[in-house]
Amino acid sequence: MEELLGHPSVLSVGQSELHFSLGKAYEDLKDYEVSFQHYARGNDLVNKKSDFSLENTKSYFRLIRDSFSKEFIFENKNSQSYDVTPVFIVGMPRSGTSLTEQILASHTDVHGAGELDLMWKIFTQTLGLVSDKYQKSFALLTPKKIENAANSYISSLQKLSPSASFITDKMPMNFRYIGLIKSMFPKAKIIHCIRDPRDTCLSIYKCRFMGGHPFAYDQKNLAEVYKLYTEMMAYWHSILPGEILDFRYEDLIEDQKTGTKRLLDYCGLDWQDTCLDFHKTKRTVNTASVFQVKEPLYKTGAGYWKNYEQYLEKEIIELA
């Protein structure tokens, strides 16, 4: 791989992927200095071509918070009932969402649907809640539009597993849409996955995402978006008390049975031992955690950031 880096036939996109692969190779060898050099170079190459705007992101988050008030959610609550309960698993990427879904999908009443873009499409395309026309579109939002959006979502969900009582949607960035989700589905379960922010941000920085997350390739942007996320979640908790389960990765690996029971109890699911043996559940996982969820729970993921501490920007270190 190192010989390919300087080859003229390898475009910058290929070079960035080579750097990420070399970062992982040296990480496996525990040569964290050289590993980080490659991760940093790979990130820099991707970031140079990114059109990410921190100011636009801040503005968009502010628009969502300002518009989805407690009163709006209550007054526009969908009264339809459905045969399936959607379970939204949210948080920052690399915060334990895949593991959480794998545990739930090991229950006979649950279908794990993976990372769905359905809510993003409803929010941005169906309802038109995008930054350049957000306020105009929001002013046109009605209970009927919300009900129609909910019906459309459920229809798409049930095609994935017609007989399941619960279906999970583990698109992490759906945390932005919790206000709309609770208007569409007052009885929806929302599981907020939390992991040490330093481990979370490092894990994001080491990952070459195939789409989305343009903030991921610059440490300062990553830290700022993490702050926006924590502010957003604090807001949802303040207006929806008791509606969202905070599920901490570190608590789960410290006491797997208690953490698993807490997860099942929140969803209203009975205990099944298969949820402890989640790694034996055969299902397709299309995320960066595909190998981790096929293994028993391990504790090495907690505090892993310390191996790279000297290379992390203070903005990330100070998130904890």
Tens-digit pLDDT profile for residues 224-262 = 999 999 999 999 999 999 999 999 999 999 999 999 999
As a whole number of angstroms, the distance between CA 288 and CA 164 comes to 26
Q: Does domain 52-317 have CATH number 3.40.50.300?
A: yes
Single-letter code of the amino acid located at 105: A
90 contact partners, CB below 8 Å, separation of at least 6: 97, 171, 172, 173, 174, 175, 178, 190, 191, 192, 193
- In three-state secondary structure terms, 96 is coil
Query: What does the block give as tokens for 114?
Result: 């993976």
Question: What would the pLDDT profile of 203-218 be if each residue is shown by its tens digit?
Answer: 999 999 988 899 999 9
pLDDT of residue 298: 82
Whether the CB-CB separation of 36 and 30 falls below 8 Å is answered with no
Percent of the chain with pLDDT over 90: 86
Whether the CB-CB separation of 212 and 171 falls below 8 Å is answered with no
pLDDT of residue 282: 77
Query: What does the block give as tokens for 297?
Result: 């729970």
Exposure of 296 in the CB half-sphere (CA atoms within 13 A): 4
Give residue 132's pLDDT band: very low, low, confident or very high (50, 70, 90). Answer: confident
Helix 256-267 and helix 97-105, axial crossing angle in degrees, nearest 10: 70
Q: What is the pTM of this model?
A: 0.93
State which H helix or E strand residue 173 sits in: none
Nearest to 281 by CA among 160, 84, 106, 124: 106
Partners of 190 in beta bridges: 88, 244
User: Where are the domains positioned within the chain?
Assistant: 1-49, 52-317
Percent of the chain with pLDDT over 70: 92
Report, as an integer, the average pLDDT of 62-70: 96
Nearest to 77 by CA among 225, 184, 231: 184
